Structure 1
Amino acid sequence: MDTLTPAADLARAEPMRWPNESADYRAARTALLVEEIELRRHITRVNDMRRALPEGGAIPQDYRFDGPEGPVALSQMFGKHDTLIVYCMMYGPKRETGCPMCSAQLDAWDGEARHIEKRAALAVVARSPIERIRKYAKERGWTHLSVYSDPTGDFWADYNRDRDADMPAYAVFHRGADGTIRHFWSPEAGFATADPGQDPHLAPDMNPLWILLDTTPEGRGTDWYPKLDD
């Protein structure tokens, strides 16, 4: 294993300078840079650990969904890829409209979908009927996301707490050389794992909204969430 240069040495190697900054600002910013380098390295270690996971469990069944063109099996969602990302959106039949948080995240993902699908298949699933989901996707301006309905809730029951859970979920599946589809990874952080004063979320967060706000003086805050209107 290559020996890494200490983060403090890297931070001091070529320090940036911004107009009219104070010595106090530079000292604090360099100290922050050390932590940012360590964070980057920690994220890399976590990603390496994720990729090194043993084989996950084989899917109990080849789940059936309703798609824009009719019924489709989970195995068909892979297309030309061996990896499939499935996002469970909070938009069940009892909801008047889609979850604002899910919608904000998918607003961003819609623009990235064409790039993601160069490497992996991406599917958005909800518990509402497919025509209702498609109508909502059109209203949101989603043109690149592939949306599906889980009419029976069988998939939801196995990979999103229970059949009628009004919760989001994210699952990655991999198809092996022998054709077996296995669950690779899903987030397991939740309210029980959240630190005091924090909403449960991944690190790094999958929603670009929060990533950008985290770089601002005000941060993401604790009393603001996205809304469906302007």
Structure 2
Amino acid sequence: MDAPATPENATPENPPKNPVISREEWLEARRRLLALEKEETHLRDRVRAERQTLPWVRIDKDYVFDTPTGRKTLAELFDGRSQLMIYHFMLGPEWEAGCTGCSFLSDHVDGALPHLNNHDVTWVAVSRAPLQKIEAYRKRMGWKFPWVSSFGSDFNFDFHVSFTKEDLAKDKVFYNFAAIPPGQAHDELPGFSAFYKDEAGEVFHTYSSYSRGGEEMIGTLMILDRAPLGRNEGSTMDFVKRHDEYEKKPEAAASSCCH
């Protein structure tokens, strides 16, 4: 017999056994939670303010990317704006499809583009796969956001989201600002990085985040966190499929990455 579900391990088949109480008791419980939610909001405000004070690093290396309109430098990816957000999308040169988790996040981007662009921010996804493979997968997913290839460049390796066979053969690899066992890494891992270009055309690296750092960009997760059964996950985002695979049989919807 299955153990009684808790809010953390509940599923539709094994729903949580939350207490059923009066409306007055519920209001008291909700107010206690509201106090915690306000504490979370104030902490998020503090983190956001601290993030804006982070020192910058000048980019002195010449990075060049393959784009649908030809080869472009990192500075040219800004597309006339002063701020650039790069999503390190897990799609390696040998991969047949993009990472499931990266695809999940990317489903939320197109609607934000007009607002980001109006706020002087350009969003670009970067993968090591050749441009032809990127364009094929983008067409499959129906996305419009800019997506370029860093194939043949050091960009992914310098920002610690791609790893060679030699890297993975070592005792440790560097990811998410720490040395981790190679067994926790893949040849590609997710992340995003922010850059600023000044009036003189100099480019600065201002911020990077990895692993679960991008969760707040995924609106679906924020909604599920407020649903009665939450995320219903055994491990991080194990319920996610590419958006064109939900109606397929499980064996036809294989994942190609970690989360």
State the TM-score, normalized to the length of structure 2.
0.71
How far residue 52 of structure 1 moved from its aligned partner, in angstroms, is 1.3
2:241 matches 1:227: yes
| Partner in structure 2 of residue 26 of structure 1 | 27
| Partner in structure 2 of residue 86 of structure 1 | 86
Q: Is the contact made by 1:62 and 1:75 (CA closer than 8 Å) also made in structure 2?
A: no
Q: Is the contact made by 2:196 and 2:205 (CA closer than 8 Å) also made in structure 1?
A: yes
Residues 181 and 152 (structure 1), Cα distance of their counterparts in 2 relative to 1, 3 Å cut: same
Helix, strand or coil for the counterpart of 1:202?
A: helix
How far residue 222 of structure 1 moved from its aligned partner, in angstroms, is 2.7
Matched AA of 2:207: W
Helix, strand or coil for the counterpart of 2:102?
A: helix
After superposition, the C-alpha distances for 1:43-62 in whole angstroms (9 at most, x for unaligned) are 111111111122x2111313
| Alignment partners' CA distance in 1, 2:147 and 2:189 | 17
Moved more, 102-111 or 176-185: 176-185
Q: Is the contact made by 2:215 and 2:221 (CA closer than 8 Å) also made in structure 1?
A: no
| Alignment partners' CA distance in 1, 2:196 and 2:126 | 17
Structure 1 residue runs of 5 or longer lacking an equivalent are 1-19, 191-200
Residues 161 and 127 (structure 1), Cα distance of their counterparts in 2 relative to 1, 3 Å cut: closer
Moved more, 175-184 or 120-129: 175-184
| Partner in structure 2 of residue 138 of structure 1 | 139
Q: Is the contact made by 1:85 and 1:173 (CA closer than 8 Å) also made in structure 2?
A: yes
| Partner in structure 1 of residue 253 of structure 2 | none
Q: Is the contact made by 1:84 and 1:173 (CA closer than 8 Å) also made in structure 2?
A: yes
Matched AA of 2:111: G
State the TM-score, normalized to the length of structure 1.
0.80
Matched AA of 2:52: R
Higher relative CO (Cα under 8 Å, sequence separation at least 6) belongs to: 2
| Alignment partners' CA distance in 2, 1:112 and 1:161 | 24
| Partner in structure 2 of residue 155 of structure 1 | 155
| Alignment partners' CA distance in 1, 2:95 and 2:101 | 14
Task: Give the count of matched residue pairs.
Answer: 198
Matched AA of 1:225: F
Matched AA of 2:196: H
The equivalences for 1:1-230 within 5 A come to 22-54=23-55, 56-119=56-119, 120-143=121-144, 145-164=145-164, 165-187=187-209, 190=211, 201-202=212-213, 205-223=216-234, 224-228=238-242, 229-230=245-246
What is the identity percentage for the equivalent residue pairs of Structure 1 and Structure 2?
A: 29
Q: Is the contact made by 1:160 and 1:168 (CA closer than 8 Å) also made in structure 2?
A: no
User: What is the RMSD computed on CA atoms of the aligned residues?
Assistant: 1.9
| Alignment partners' CA distance in 2, 1:227 and 1:204 | 16
Q: Is the contact made by 2:79 and 2:122 (CA closer than 8 Å) also made in structure 1?
A: yes
